[in-house]
């Protein structure tokens, strides 16, 4: 069962990379907050692997614990673009 279309691949990684860079949050600090190895964050950051939908929710929660504004920006970048893309397909 395909949960994402090809256009969704890498969206979370791009949003994560932008947020971590913009807010000066290290991959390691996010990994520690999430209880994961930094290699998992690295793979998302570099779009080598996409996080699951459940993991995206965990990323938001971890970011909220580090910087609430960063969490809000991540959601806007990840879901906001998704809504904009959806709107362009439906007149």
Confirm whether 61 is domain-assigned: yes
Q: Which tokens is 31 given? A: 């990994």
**Residue 30 falls within a domain, yes or no?**
yes
pLDDT confidence band for 89 (50 / 70 / 90): very low
> Can you give the CATH number for the domain in which 43 is found?
1.10.260.40
Q: Has residue 49 been placed in a domain? A: yes
The residue whose two tokens read 């913009």 is 22
Structural domain boundaries enclosing 30: 9-89
- The reply to whether 1 falls in a domain is no
Q: Residue 17: inside a domain, yes or no? A: yes
Find all residues with CB under 8 Å of 62, minimum gap 6, and list them: 30, 33, 34
The reply to whether 72 falls in a domain is yes
Longest dimension (CA), the chain: 44
Q: What is the dihedral of CA 72, 31, 15, 68, to 10 degrees?
A: 10
Domain annotation covers residue 2: no
Residue labelled with tokens 């709107």: 87
Domain count, the chain: 1
Q: What is the pLDDT of residues 3-50, one digit of tens each?
A: 444 455 688 999 999 999 999 999 999 999 999 999 999 999 999 999
């Amino acid at each position: 069962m395909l949960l994402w279309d090809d256009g969704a691949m890498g969206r979370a990684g791009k949003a994560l990379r932008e947020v971590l860079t913009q807010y000066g949050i290290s991959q390691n600090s996010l990994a520690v907050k999430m209880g994961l190895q930094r290699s998992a964050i690295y793979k998302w950051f570099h779009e080598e692997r996409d996080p699951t939908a459940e993991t995206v929710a965990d990323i938001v929660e971890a970011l909220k614990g580090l910087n609430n504004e960063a969490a809000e920006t991540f959601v806007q970048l990840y879901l906001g673009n998704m809504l904009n893309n959806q709107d362009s397909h439906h007149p």
